[in-house]
Structure 1
Amino acid sequence: MDDVRWLDGRERHAWMTLLATTARLDGALDRQMQRDAGMPLAYYQILAMLSEAPQRTLRMTDLAEITQSSQSRISHAVKRLELQSWVLRRPCADDRRSTLAQLTDTGHAALVAAAPAHVRAVRTHLFDALSSEQVGQLRDILGAVLSQLPDGQTG
């Protein structure tokens, strides 16, 4: 335990504030998405990631990595999105072991319909509390942290 660099008071306070902020922000955005679009924030994120991919299509493994989801969690979510006709799963032509997830036109329409309320909520709960300078600082801080984190999925 002697080799542990314990957090000092400022670091601990910053860490606890980060934990509380991300939990509350995620909760507020999820409640908004459930209320206004009838889907969890995680499903909105899947639709958004597919909408930005070429041909609105990603391998399931890539979608899991992008969303930091386990294979089983992403599979369950995509199955639910298929039931809504928002996503279509199909085998990958050049890799028989892979499955592709493709955003349908119906799914794209659901994403487009949900986006304005989501953006308003992000603005209300995050960016309206910050000055332009603070937005830049936040971007720089999060970029610095993100750049040193390992890639890959979480369980």
Structure 2
Amino acid sequence: MLSQVIRYDGSMTSPSESAPLDGDELETWSALATVLEWLPPVLDVQLQDGWNLTHFEFGVLYALATAEGRSLPMSTLAGFANSTLSRLSRAVVRLEKRDWVRRSTDPEDRRVTIAWLTDSGAEVVASAAPAHADLVRRLVFDSLSAEQAMTLREISRSIAAAISDEGGWRPGR
């Protein structure tokens, strides 16, 4: 039997301090957990089938496409991607092999590596983004009223803030 539970921030708490989820909490959690499990693979399938990209790789390309000068320091890009530098580096290597991204050392600070979106990478983003947006609209926004979409945004921000406050997962952790 567990005598203590480890929280994300590393502190310990007794399991008896909180009751198991039940009733409305369990129903709500179950619905959210289902979305969290089902949505990423659907997004991946579309991008894999159409562009041989994972959703994560598309996010990296999109972040570069929308950045000033189509470039970002790898550490900044890792923050945008909510990723470790190691995971991001592996993805960027795959993207470099397709000539969609290139990396170079920052001439002003040789300790910093900059990721650059190539012209062919920009073409991939321009091609994939409309279909991706259509899928997101179909799966998320078409199933919600405008008020529900606003509520979902507020709820998502509240959950993200709670995760951050709890000391939850962060890149490099």
TM-score by length of 1: 0.91
What residue is the counterpart of 2:123 in the other structure?
A: 109
**AA aligned opposite 1:71:** L
Displacement of 1:30 after TM fit?
Answer: 0.6
Displacement of 1:20 after TM fit?
Answer: 1.1
What residue is the counterpart of 1:153 in the other structure?
A: 171
1:140 to 2:154 alignment: yes
Displacement of 1:11 after TM fit?
Answer: 1.7
Between the two proteins, the alignment pairs up a number of residues equal to 155
Displacement of 1:5 after TM fit?
Answer: 5.5
Runs of 4+ in 1 over 6 A off after TM superposition: none
What residue is the counterpart of 1:32 in the other structure?
A: 46
Displacement of 1:33 after TM fit?
Answer: 0.7
**AA aligned opposite 2:61:** L
Displacement of 1:145 after TM fit?
Answer: 1.9
Unaligned runs of 5+ in 2: 1-14
Displacement of 1:3 after TM fit?
Answer: 2.5
Q: Deviations over 1:25-68 (max 9, x none)?
A: 11111101111122111111000111122211111111112111
SS of equivalent residue, structure 1 residue 89: strand
SS of equivalent residue, structure 1 residue 99: strand
Displacement of 1:2 after TM fit?
Answer: 2.8
Q: Distance in 2 between matches of 1:123 and 1:37?
A: 19
Structure whose CA Rg is larger = 2
Q: Name whichever of 81-90 and 144-153 sits farther off.
A: 144-153
What residue is the counterpart of 2:8 in the other structure?
A: none
**AA aligned opposite 2:17:** D
Alignment check: 8 A CA contact 1:47 1:107 kept: yes
Q: Distance in 2 between matches of 1:52 and 1:9?
A: 43
SS of equivalent residue, structure 1 residue 55: helix
Say what the alpha-carbon RMSD is for the aligned residues: 1.7
Unaligned runs of 5+ in 1: none
- Report % sequence identity: 36
Alignment check: 8 A CA contact 2:85 2:172 kept: no
Alignment counterpart, residue 53 of structure 1, candidates 67, 84, 87: 67
What residue is the counterpart of 2:26 in the other structure?
A: 12
Displacement of 1:148 after TM fit?
Answer: 3.4
Distance change in 2, residues 1:154/1:120 (3 Å): farther
Displacement of 1:6 after TM fit?
Answer: 4.1
Q: Distance in 2 between matches of 1:116 and 1:52?
A: 15
Q: Deviations over 1:70-95 (max 9, x none)?
A: 21110010011111111110002232
SS of equivalent residue, structure 2 residue 114: strand
